[in-house]
Every structure is written in C-alpha cells, then in structure tokens.
Structure 1
Amino acid sequence: MDSANPEKFRGALPTTERLAAFRGTVAERVHARIGDIAAGRVGAATQMNIVAAHLLTALINHEYQHDQWIGEVRADNLGHALPPDPDSDLLSRIDGYLVCTPYA
C-alpha cells in the first residue's frame, strides 16, 4: 500500500474494513486535536490556530488529489464521466488537481 515503493514491492492491499477503520481513527484524532486548538486547550493557541488551518488545507488537498485519481481510473477503465468540479471561490485547479486555496 506504500506508494513510495514501486508497485511490485507494495504487498497486498488492506481490506476495505481495515482502510475504513484506519481512516476513521485518523479523522477522530484530527477532529479531537482541532477541537482542542479551537477551544484554546493547547499551548500557543493563536499560533496553533494558524498551524491547524494549514494542516486542514493540506489534508483537504490530499483527499482532493485521491478523488482525482479515482475519477481518472473510473473514467479510463470503466467509462464513467468525471464529475463536475465543486463550485467555490476557495478552489482552484493547479497542475491538473483540484486544490483548496483559501489564501490565494
């Protein structure tokens, strides 16, 4: 599953259940930490708000990239049309990928 390695060295893909559990755990931890930051239950809360905003932007952009890849595979291999991009002034397409650009 490690995309940093050539495909032939990645091993078997995890089950859907394992992936869902992993993603659920990550989401739970991110929500808890962002909640602590928003509530000021951290040191340097003002600075951490800036870090949290950038972290969430990076996570959103990473997920948009996965959505793009999945859409391309569905289009190329299954003949499905790509869905339209969401409509928002906070989104741009850069290097072919949809990205959240709240600071642009």
Structure 2
Amino acid sequence: MVVKAISGIEEYHSIINSDKVVLVEFWAQWCGPCRVMSPVFENMSNGTNGIQFFKVNIDDEDAISGEIGVRSIPMFVAFQHGRKIDQFIGASPPGLETLIHKVKASA
C-alpha cells in the first residue's frame, strides 16, 4: 500500500472523519528520526488490512499540525470517526508495530 500525503486541512478532516481506522504519520524533512521511521511506516502499511495509512509534513501543513497539537516528531496518530483513538511518538519500530496491532484490533 502506498502511504498518501495529505494536502490541506479539508482533505485531512475528510480522511480522519472516515468510519475506517486511519493512521497518520506526522513528520518533517529535516527530522533524522522521521527519515528512519518513514520507510518503516510505509513497509508496515504493506500487508496491514483494515487500516488506512497517510502522512503529513508538518512544515507544509502547519494548520493540521497545529490542530492536532504536534509537539514532537515522528508522531503517529490513529483516528476513527474524527476522534483520536491512540498515538505513538518516537523512532521505535517495535513501538509503531504495537500501535498498529492495538488499533487494528479496534478496526
């Protein structure tokens, strides 16, 4: 599965208000840990059914990052029906995998 970049707050709202579980990676080009985790996130999206994967560049989409309150990156947030259901912050593939398993169980 290709992880799609979200462009604009309207698209962001449309995506997170879905009845499906959505996992969003908040990242920035200058962030070393983000460059480590982005390929891991994309790799984990392959073969993970029941969750839709997206990413938001916080420098390009400051309205989105401000609305969600991004304070540290990389940040991975799961949404369903417009509500945040869980999140993980950091550059730990096992931590991200745990988040995916938790939100997949609620899907």
Please identify the structure whose Cα radius of gyration is greater.
1
Say yes or no: TM over 0.5.
no
Normalising TM by the smaller chain, what interval? under 0.3
Query: Which is helix-richer, 1 or 2?
Result: 1
Query: Which is strand-richer, 1 or 2?
Result: 2
Scaled by the length of structure 2, what TM-score is found?
Answer: 0.25
